[in-house]
Structure 1
Amino acid sequence: MVRQFPDDEERSRVLNLVTLVHRRDKVILRRLEASSSRSTDHVTPVASPECDIASLKSSVDSLRREMKSLVRELSSSLEELKEQVRGRDALLRCLEESVTSTAEDVTCIKCGLIGEASLSQPASDPARARQECVDAMMRKTQIVYESGVDGMRGLYERLYNGDECTACIIKFLSGNDRVRVMVDSDSYDIGRMKEKVVEMNGTQGKGSGFYAFCDYESETVYLGAKDCSDDREKAVCAWLAWALSQLSLKLVFCNEGTPYSKGDVEREREWMRAIEEAEERRKRGEGLDWSIDYALNGKTLNAKVCWLAAAVPSTIAYDGSTRGRAILQLQAPLLSLYSNYVMGTLLAKAKR
């Protein structure tokens, strides 16, 4: 095979390895035959035991030296092969990362009209991809009492453009047929759309006390969006991100709104550690962002971890990408947890 493929270095190395092993076996066999031959020769009266021992010792020493030489050559060849295997593994890892990255890009492109596959959408046209995602979200949105169409479109665009942590939510939800968003553009709260609410931790309240709310049972997000301008727009956008994030977690992980799949013990422990660290900071009197502080007030562990995950896009939506990320990085180890797992899962499972 080496003669047939003279340029294949791997075949040459394997041939070299086999040749060395063959040489080793021949040496061992030759020594064994010599030893056997001496044992079956006629006894010579003049031969002394000292001579036999010296001869045997010389043979053993010679064999040892030759074996050491062969072992060194074999070790060298094996190391070369190991290096090649390690190099190939590294190459495969790079290829896997490249494929994953490409898959995420394709997922973003697929975001678009319901029932219409847009895989042919070129990745170099992000404006069109954003437009299709926002259009899909607008079709899932029902605005009551006032028009407010332009205001809601502006909120979705702000979430899409602001940061990948908020954009991934829009990309995922825009392709899910079960999503509904109810908006009262003439009220600061959701009381006229939903009179009573039951929070994730079991607390009952009036809708008039909520700016936004995620109803898991009906898979509907409610939002009070009156006066979406200037600082008020930042607040409304943050509440919208808060509620949409909770719904996306419920739909993508199917585990009661938590940011990990059922049975994923490792991820669950990581979020528990994040809660513990944030609570320790609060006990020491360190200031926390309102969304993190709100999450820690949850009466159940599920409520705390779900709201803490929702605090990531909410903080970024209110404070902007740069400042929001800085706040999250400083106050709790949330950003890496969300970016490394939640965001990747949302993008991977986005239908369009």
Structure 2
Amino acid sequence: MVRQFPDDVERSKVLNLVTLVHRRDQVIFRRLAASSSNSTDHVTPVASPECDIASLKSSVDSLRREMKYLVRQLSSSLEELKAQVCGRDALLRCLEESVTSTAEDVTCIKCGLHGEASFSQPTSDPARARQECVDAMMRKTRIVYGSGVDGMRRLYERLCDEDEFTACIIKYLCGDDRVKVIVDMESDDIGRMKEEVVHLDGTQWNGSDWYSFCDFESETVYLGAEDCSGDREEFVCSILALALSQLSLKLVFDNEGRPYSKGDVEREHEWMRAIEELEERRKRGESLHQWINRALFGKTPKAKVCWLAAAVPRIIADYGSTEGRAFLQRNFPLLFSLYSKNVMGTLLASAKR
């Protein structure tokens, strides 16, 4: 087989092992035969016991030396084979890590591109996949006052089409059975659906003071969507993006709405650094966006980081994809980078559809 496959190193190694074992057996048989012959020869001519012992001792010593040599060669060959096996395992592990890393890089690249290409779907038909996401969100939505199924559908479609920042939220939420959206189509606030709300920093408010609200405890988004058409459609879409973003953060990271997982110290430090940087700019009198200021006025670190992360898709929905991205990159580059790399990638990777 080695002659048939001269380039196969493993066959050569096996042949070497077999040859060494054969040599060992031959040495043993040869010594035993010699010992037997010597004992037969000594039957007739009587030799002294001292000579027999010396001859036997010499044979045993010679055999021992040759056996040690063979054992060393066998051990060396076995170590080489073991190294090859371990090397192959290590290569497989490296290959697996490389494939995983490449997949993550591709996801990040998709998140950073404009257009439908980044909103990838398992199906080969992007339009159909988009429609399936919208249909799934509509099944999670209950209009308790008024009627406006077409209006709500337009809001979800607009979030899908606006930008990857908003599209990835819909893509993730549409596959999560826990999501609930309750809508009042006859009011621009949520007061009739939820009289009082408690925010993440513990502050209590009247529901009539809020256009939308994400209730983390019940995993429900409340929306006041009166007359969500024309110019007002853009505003209603942006407040819906804010609340849905908060819910997606709560569900995907399972960390009370924070934009990172429990125990992820590195990501926590990055978001805290972003907050500290923005607070320093505010103290210097720099004018920040109203939703950035709203986040920084939170009374607890958890409220600040949750609201700050959710402000990104709200701003994108407010300004539109091109202008919103340019605004964030120009004025809040660290925040834009953190949301792009940490939040969007996680939402897309965790989406079930």
Matches within 5 A, 1:278-293: 278-293=278-293
Matches within 5 A, 1:182-201: 182-201=182-201
Whether 1:207 and 2:207 are equivalent positions in the alignment is: yes
Match of 1:243 in 2: 243
Secondary structure of the corresponding residue to residue 221 of structure 1:
strand
Match of 2:345 in 1: 344
Secondary structure of the corresponding residue to residue 187 of structure 2:
coil
Return the index of the structure with the highest Cα Rg: 2
Match of 2:82 in 1: none
Give the letter aligned to residue 337 of structure 1.
L
Q: How many residues align?
A: 265
Deviates more, 1:229-238 or 1:99-108: 99-108
Give the letter aligned to residue 343 of structure 2.
V
Q: Is the 8 A contact 1:274 1:334 kept in 2?
A: yes
CA deviation digits over 1:240-265, x for unaligned, max 9? Answer: 11111111111111111100011100
Match of 2:121 in 1: 109
Match of 2:163 in 1: 163
Matches within 5 A, 1:305-320: 305-320=305-320
Q: Is the 8 A contact 1:107 1:350 kept in 2?
A: no
Secondary structure of the corresponding residue to residue 109 of structure 1:
coil
Secondary structure of the corresponding residue to residue 231 of structure 2:
helix
Secondary structure of the corresponding residue to residue 262 of structure 2:
coil
CA deviation digits over 1:325-348, x for unaligned, max 9? Answer: 122223321111011111111111
Task: Percent identity, please.
Answer: 68
Match of 1:129 in 2: 129
Q: Is the 8 A contact 1:180 1:219 kept in 2?
A: yes
Q: Is the 8 A contact 2:119 2:167 kept in 1?
A: no
Secondary structure of the corresponding residue to residue 306 of structure 1:
helix
Residue 284 of structure 1 and its aligned partner are, at CA, apart by: 2.2
Whether 1:258 and 2:258 are equivalent positions in the alignment is: yes
Residue 6 of structure 1 and its aligned partner are, at CA, apart by: 7.7
Secondary structure of the corresponding residue to residue 334 of structure 1:
helix
Distance 1:108 1:175, change over 3 A: farther
**2:4, 2:169 → 1: CA distance?**
56
Residue 2 of structure 1 and its aligned partner are, at CA, apart by: 11
Give the letter aligned to residue 163 of structure 2.
D
Secondary structure of the corresponding residue to residue 181 of structure 2:
strand
Match of 2:103 in 1: 99
Residue 142 of structure 1 and its aligned partner are, at CA, apart by: 0.5
Residue 231 of structure 1 and its aligned partner are, at CA, apart by: 3.0
Where in structure 1 are there 5+ consecutive unaligned residues?
A: 12-87, 111-120
Q: Is the 8 A contact 2:145 2:186 kept in 1?
A: yes
Match of 2:335 in 1: 334
Residue 99 of structure 1 and its aligned partner are, at CA, apart by: 3.4
Q: Is the 8 A contact 2:238 2:315 kept in 1?
A: yes
Match of 1:299 in 2: 299
Match of 1:66 in 2: none
Whether 1:140 and 2:121 are equivalent positions in the alignment is: no
Residue 212 of structure 1 and its aligned partner are, at CA, apart by: 0.4
CA deviation digits over 1:142-193, x for unaligned, max 9? Answer: 1122111111111111111111111111011000001000011111100011
Where in structure 2 are there 5+ consecutive unaligned residues?
A: 10-91, 111-116
Q: Give the alignment's Cα RMSD to 1 decimal.
A: 2.9
Residue 230 of structure 1 and its aligned partner are, at CA, apart by: 3.2
Match of 2:14 in 1: none
Match of 1:36 in 2: none
Q: What TM-score, normalized to structure 1?
A: 0.69
